Amino acid sequence: MPILSFVVNQTPAALDRVFSALADPTRRALIAQLAETDTLSISQLAKPLPMSLPAVMKHLDVLESAGLIARQKTGRTVHCRLVAQPMETALAWLERYEKFWSQSLDRLAATLEDRK
C-alpha cells in the first residue's frame, strides 16, 4: 500500500472536521474576521456577509464543531473568539507533506539537471 494512502486513511476525525470547515469560503471569511479581533458578536460577524443570520449561525456551528471557534454568551449577546490549536494541528500535518514534496521535487530537479 502506498505510504500516502495509508496516512490519509489514518487521519483523525478532528483533523477531518478542521479541513472540512476550512474548505468553505464563508467560514474562512469568518475565521479571517476573528483573526483581526479578540472577540466579535455573531451580529458583527454576520454584518459584512451577504446571507441571513441563520445561515451565518450554521457556518459558526461547523466552525465550533471543528474546535476552531469558541462562543460565550454575555447577557443576550453571543461572542465568538478564534481557537488556534486545531489550525496548528492542521498546519503540522500539512508541513509534514510539504517537506515530503519539497524533497521529491528537489530530487526531480537534480535528476533533470544531471540529464542536461
CA pair distance 16, 66, nearest whole angstrom? 8
> What CA–CA distance (Å, rounded) separates 20 from 3?
22
Largest CA distance in the chain: 71
C-alpha–C-alpha distance, residues 23 and 21, integer Å: 5
Q: For the domain that residue 93 is a member of, what is the CATH number?
A: 1.10.10.10
**Cα torsion 26, 27, 33, 35: sign:** negative
Residue 15 lies in a domain: yes
- Enclosing domain of residue 58: 11-115
DSSP 116: -
In this prediction, residue 8 carries a pLDDT of: 46
Q: Is the pTM of this model over 0.85?
A: no
Q: Determine contact, residues 78/72, Cβ cutoff 8 Å.
A: yes
Decide if 5 is inside a domain. Answer: no
In a domain, 26, yes or no: yes
- Does residue 58 belong to any structural domain of this protein? yes
Number of domains into which the chain is organized: 1
* pLDDT tens digits, 79-98: 999 998 999 889 888 888 88
